[in-house]
């Protein structure tokens, strides 16, 4: 489903070149639950952003569902992301002025879903993350774990094929982290969605089906667990 070949990414910082990725190749299959781990600065976020078409590599190729995604225009990429991908970030990235339900339906509205269907679909996913009764709350009125579950509902609202999550549990205590991981597992098992998640917590490994370890911008290990 995702085939990335020899991906390189170099950041130029004044006179210094930072080689964030030095030739990463990964083949991710439909329905995989992949953990990307490795030391800080090893290129995990860079790789996730490149696979999720949020950033461009300097070299290499990526095909997703048979499409050469690096050849797409920015508009095509945005549409592709909206219909195929869901994103979850460490800091939840919710809009502070909007209610839980309004946050969840942003991607559906952006995709052009009619308003009444947005509300129906949004409520369905808020229900799936156990937050139906919090629909009218703004993020400041929700706990960190609840905010991250709103972000997960938002990531699911357009029925994406692939969920990308960059350290989604980094700001959560272990109980809320477990709830988020269980939710990913359920989404992965029940709907065969691909989940690609960056983590630095050893205990998260038991949830992953496959582990990709990065070191100094290269894959140092890639195995099914």
Ligand X SMILES: Nc1ncnc2c1ncn2[C@@H]1O[C@H](COP(=O)(O)OP(=O)(O)OP(=O)(O)O)[C@@H](O)[C@H]1O
Could you list the residues that contact Mg ion (CB under 5 A)?
44-45
Please say which residue, 137 or 200, places its beta carbon nearer to ligand X.
200
Selected from 40, 73, 116, 223, the binder of ligand X by CB under 6 A is: 40
13 contributes a contact to ligand X by CB under 6 A = yes
Please say which residue, 14 or 96, places its beta carbon nearer to ligand X.
14
Dihedral (C-alpha) 117, 122, 125, 126: value to the nearest 10 degrees?
Answer: -150
SS3 222: strand
Selected from 7, 34, 42, 151, the binder of ligand X by CB under 6 A is: 42
Please say which residue, 146 or 167, places its beta carbon nearer to Mg ion.
167
166-205 residues in contact with ligand X (CB under 6 A) are 200
Residue-wise DSSP of 37-81: E-STTSSHHHHHHHHTTSS--SEEEEEETTEEGGGS-HHHHHHHH
15-34 residues in contact with ligand X (CB under 6 A) are 18, 20
- As measured in angstroms, the least distance from the Cβ of 112 to ligand X is 32
User: For residue 223, what are the β-bridge partners?
Assistant: 211
Say how many C-beta atoms besides its own lie within 10 A of residue 118's C-beta.
Answer: 21
Q: Tokens for 174, please give them.
A: 């272990």
149 contributes a contact to ligand X by CB under 6 A = no
What are the residues whose beta carbons fall under 8 Å from the beta carbon of 68, sequence distance 6 or more?
A: 61, 62
Binding site for ligand X (CB under 6 A): 11, 13, 18, 20, 38, 40-46, 200
């Amino acid at each position: 489903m995702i085939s990335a070949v020899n991906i390189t990414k170099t950041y130029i910082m004044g006179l210094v070149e930072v080689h964030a990725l030095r030739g990463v190749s990964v083949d991710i299959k439909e329905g995989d639950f992949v953990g990307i781990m490795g030391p800080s600065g090893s290129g995990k976020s860079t790789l996730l952003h490149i696979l999720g078409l949020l950033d461009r590599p300097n070299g290499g190729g990526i095909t997703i569902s048979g499409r050469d995604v690096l050849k797409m225009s920015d508009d095509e990429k945005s549409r592709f992301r909206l219909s195929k991908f869901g994103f979850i970030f460490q800091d939840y990235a919710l809009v502070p002025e909007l209610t839980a339900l309004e946050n969840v339906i942003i991607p559906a509205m952006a995709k052009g879903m009619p308003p009444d269907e947005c509300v129906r679909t949004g409520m369905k996913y808020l229900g799936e993350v156990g937050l139906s009764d919090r629909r009218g709350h703004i993020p400041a009125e929700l706990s960190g774990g609840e905010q991250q579950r709103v972000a997960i509902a938002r990531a699911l609202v357009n029925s994406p094929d692939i969920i990308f999550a960059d350290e989604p549990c980094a700001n959560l205590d272990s109980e809320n982290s477990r709830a988020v991981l269980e939710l990913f597992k359920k989404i992965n098992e029940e709907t065969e969605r691909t989940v690609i998640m960056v983590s630095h917590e050893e205990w998260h490994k038991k949830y992953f089906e496959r582990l990709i370890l990065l070191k100094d911008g290269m894959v140092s290990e890639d195995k099914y667990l």
